[in-house]
Amino acid sequence: MNSEYSISTDKEKLDMEIIHDFLSNSYWSKDIPIETVKRSIENSICFGVYHQNKQVGFARVITDSATFGYLADVFIVEEHRGKGLSKMLMKFIMDYPQLQGLRRFCLATRDAHSLYMQFGFTLLKNPDRLMEIVHADIYSRLR
């Protein structure tokens, strides 16, 4: 682990402004309201990445802590990319005790397949078995 950086699951340390700013400008949650971000954090296991106690990264897992997990909202802020932090964060998440023994662990990504494949994620073996409802522009419509 890079000694300049730390990871914590303490939700009290999370910087809601940094998280909301990043997510509301991301391709996957454009214009997300801060109230929605807060509610998502309340109902997830959250992982903050910190540099000298300033938050520089985030991820959360939605899970029943027994059979299923969904990795979401993974990011490292631009100024701290290229330092191996996303790998450090993923290793921490994959080793996290509450996430061991899950039957299924999923995520969605547009451009980070190579990162997640390093940690055992694969393309869907049976995509015909999974279904979804997607409201891609839901946050824009709520404005």
38-62 pLDDT, tens per residue? 999 999 999 999 999 999 999 999 9
Q: What percent of the chain has pLDDT over 70?
A: 97
Q: ∠ CA 45-66-110 to the nearest 5 degrees?
A: 55
The tally of domains found in the chain comes to 1
Structure tokens at 89: 């964060």
Categorize the per-residue pLDDT at 2 as very low, low, confident or very high, splitting at 50, 70 and 90: low
Kindly state the average pLDDT of the residues 71-90.
Answer: 97
- Alpha-carbon distances, residue 132 vs 44, 71, 88, 123 (angstroms): 20, 16, 30, 16
What is the enclosing helix (H) or strand (E) of 75?
Answer: strand 68-76
Measured distance CA(60)–CA(54) in Å, rounded: 18
Q: What pTM does this model have?
A: 0.93
Q: 81-106: per-residue pLDDT in tens?
A: 999 999 999 999 999 999 999 999 99
Q: For tokens 């700013």, name the residue.
A: 21
Mean pLDDT confidence for 25-35? 94
pLDDT band at residue 1 under the 50/70/90 scheme: low
CB 96 within 8 A of CB 45: yes
Domain coverage including residue 102: 5-142
How high is the pLDDT of residue 138? 85
CATH number at residue 94: 3.40.630.30
